[in-house]
Structure 1
Amino acid sequence: MPVLCRPAVWVPDNMLTMEETLALARRLHPEHPRLPLVLRMIKNTGVTKRHLIQPVEDTLKHPGFEARNRLYGQEARRRIPAVVEQALRSAQLQARDIDAIVFVSCTGFSMPPLTAWMINELGFRPDTRQIPIAQLGCAAGGAAINRAHDFCRAYPDANVLMVACEFCSLCYQPDDDDIGSLLSNGLFGDAIAAAVLRGIGGTGVRLEANAAHLVPHTEDWISYEVKSTGFHFRLDRRVPGTMNVLAPALHTLARTHGWDATQLDFYIVHAGGPRILDDLSHYLRVPPTAFRHSRATLTTYGNIASAVVFDAMRRQFDEGLPDGARGLVAGFGPGITAESSLGSWTTAEPPWLGNQLARRPKSLVASGSSDRRH
């Protein structure tokens, strides 16, 4: 079974504190009739600071969607290489060992995808598979892990790189003053994350099962309204109520695998904010401390969309786990969609691993009913 290795995470130098966010809300919306409510909701997020790809005064300007998307591409190309290099180093692999790249982002757009640029510029093989995912929002971190897992089940000794690039601040819309938009202005941050799923060997989470679940008829609860000015984030107040539906889906996944979701050793979850994490804790029947790494990411980086799962996982690596510890990884986002997986901690590598990697072929093929290398 493939192993999810230690993620690498990067955040920009430009920082915005909670106090600065509240002051900006007062300065930009002094006559807003619901300002006291907005300020209280921002405080309740618990986000002490966030990191932005631009200084805040530049973030508040809107030069147009074209200029913002150009900046997205420029900064992604500038910052991704170092994060990828660190993730490869943690997995003890090189670019040529990667067989597929899953790239997730909901805050910018390019065609061809940035995976093509990565293959051309960062040393990946020309036959590396490209799996870009652009529309799953915060759920895309869990989706990246699950699609990588699916790939490794089809090609058992393959290695997959996952990259999440989220510059949420580039979606700021100065003219949107509904409650959901003002709350998101005080919640989201920017980050890039990367991690490798190794088909053979490695230290980390050995993935054993995954599942997806869509809550019917909730497409407009978390969404983008696409206009000439770019992406306008829409958040329905009913979103927190979805945890009583999504928690049973997590219980079902665990039960199908023969596990009890209430008795696991670690939980890496992206659920948007502290209130939703509290609700999930209640419905999943686990203590609030089970989501401590997700809360730490939210507190220090804000909601960094698809990168949250990887940063929370990085924190779990830092804390450490004993061999065999069992856990759950899940990301929730637009749809309403849940992408979740189960895995167990491993530090063991087969004694024959070195020889296996030394002989490892360079391309993937399918033969008959089974997939193999040649």
Structure 2
Amino acid sequence: MNEVSITTVAKQLPQYSRRTKDILPFVDTWLADMEDRFRRKVVKIFEGAAVDTRYGIMDIEEVFTATSFEAKNAIYVREVKKLGKQVLEKALHQNNWSADSLDYIITVSCTGIMIPSLDAYLINDLGLREDIVRLPVTEMGCAAGVSGLIYANNFLRSNPGKRAAVVAVESPTATFQLNDYSMANMVSAAIFGDGAACVLLSSEKEAKGPKILGAQMYHYKDATHLMGFDLTNHGLKMILDPSVPEAIADSFPKIVHPFLEKHGTSIKQVNHLIFHPGGKKIVQTVEELFGKMGKDIDDTREILRRYGNMSSATVLYVLERFLEKDIKSGEQGLLLSFGPGFSAQRVLLKW
């Protein structure tokens, strides 16, 4: 089998940004008809979310304006095309690859609906080859950035001398529901933001960057209720069960240790943890678990603080930080993310 390298990661942020403290007056206005106690509780959720700033495809006034699902989704489609093109162009430029040298394109998004999917537009906009293999990943939520890497790895391991791009573009703000006063909607509004990322991978012998030693998915039985969206007449309504951190903690040893053992290593030998920041509670849960093993997830926490949870793209922002570091040859990294299904996706890297 061929070795697969992650050669570059690029990110692209939407044009609008806002600090959490500047969102609170809009939250107050939105919840003006609710009981004081409820309003204070929601404000506390925003203040305690460990997110300082988030970016969006819409300005703050537009986010808090009641519009139809059709209108919000039209903005999603328009902006996702822009962000996808920008981030793929940026990654190709950073790697000095021509657009027509790509053999596979995998696009990842779960926060809107578009058919044809984003990859079809990127083929036209950037002049990708007519025989490029495309794979849209649309319903795997926060885990899908790592899912995309797993699919790319599978393609490339079977085919020497090939190149792949994984493009993740998400806009959770396009799914924000003004008429949903559930805790799931409040928590998701407090932690989510928009963003795009692109990872380039290669099975060429001379490819630089960390090698993928192993990649595997893990699916929890009877846990489809924990996370996802309900499609309503108002749009995509968030499902976020409060027991998610507990589910992660309970299954953590069997997610991490057998996977590493299968690839001839252990958590002691893993130097770098590249973990998806699902939210403050999930970060704290995983930090405690890894902390007992003498590891830290500082980069994960920092990405949450700077950008919020951008669904599938977020873990790729964490990965970018590691590709920018001067990491010694032979060191290992573990990519880990969780998403609807309920599932955990894992990739083992070696520099």
**CA positional deviation for 1:53:** 0.8
Amino acid at match of 2:7: C
- After TM superposition, list the pairs within 5 Å mapping 1:178-327 onto structure 2: 178-200=182-204, 201-244=206-249, 245-285=251-291, 290-327=296-333
Structure 1 residues 263 and 26 mapped into 2: Cα distance closer, same or farther (>3 Å)?
Answer: farther
Question: Closer, same or farther in 2 for the Cα pair 1:283/1:88, shift >3 Å?
Answer: same
2:11 to 9, 12, 15: 9
How far, CA to CA, are the matches of 1:263 and 1:319 in structure 2?
Answer: 18
Partner SS, residue 332 of structure 1: strand
TM-score calculated relative to the size of structure 1: 0.88
Is the 2:277–2:301 Cα contact (8 Å) retained in structure 1? Answer: no
Q: Which residue of 1 aligns with 2:58?
A: 54
- 8 Å contact 2:271–2:332 — kept in the other structure? yes
Contact in 2 for aligned 1:247/1:280 (Cα 8 Å):
no
Given residue 24 of structure 2, which amino acid in structure 1 is its aligned partner?
A: L
Q: TM-score, normalised by structure 2?
A: 0.93
Q: What SS class does the counterpart of residue 324 from structure 2 fall into? A: helix
The alignment partner of 1:173 has SS state of: coil
Task: Give the Cα separation in 2 of the matches to 1:317 and 1:231.
Answer: 34
Distance 2:329 2:96 in 1: 19
1:102-137 CA-to-partner distances (Å, cap 9, x unmatched) read 100011111121211111221111110011010000
Amino acid at match of 1:95: A
Question: Which residue number in structure 1 is paired with residue 45 of structure 2?
Answer: 41
Residue among 150, 154, 168 paired with 1:150: 154
Per-residue deviation, 1:85: 1.4
Shift of residue 29 of structure 1?
1.6
2:344 corresponds to 1:338: yes
AA matched with 1:4: I
SS at match of 1:83: helix
| Number of equivalent positions | 345
Whether 1:20 aligns to 2:22 is yes
By how many angstroms is 1:286 displaced? Answer: 5.2
Contact 1:91 1:198 in 2 (8 A): no
8 Å Cα contact 2:19/2:52 also seen in 1: yes
Q: 1:72·1:108 contact (CA, 8 Å) conserved in 2? A: yes
Which residue is 2:114 aligned to? Answer: 110
Distance in 2 (CA, whole Å) between partners of 1:23 and 1:183 is 17
The CA distance in 2 between the partners of 1:195 and 1:65, in whole Å, is 30
Identical pairs, percent: 26
Deviation per CA, 1:168-213: give whole Å up to 9, x if none: 1110110111111111111110111111011113332210111111
Paired residues of 2:26 and 2:64 also in contact (CA < 8 A): no
Residue 247 of structure 1 and its aligned partner are, at CA, apart by: 4.2
CA distance in 2, matches of 1:285, 1:265: 13
How far 1:339 sits from its partner (Å)? 0.9
Larger CA deviation: 284-293 vs 136-145: 284-293
Unaligned runs of 5+ in 2: none
Judge conservation of contact 1:3–1:206 (CA < 8 Å) in 2: yes
Give 1:37 deviation, angstroms: 3.0
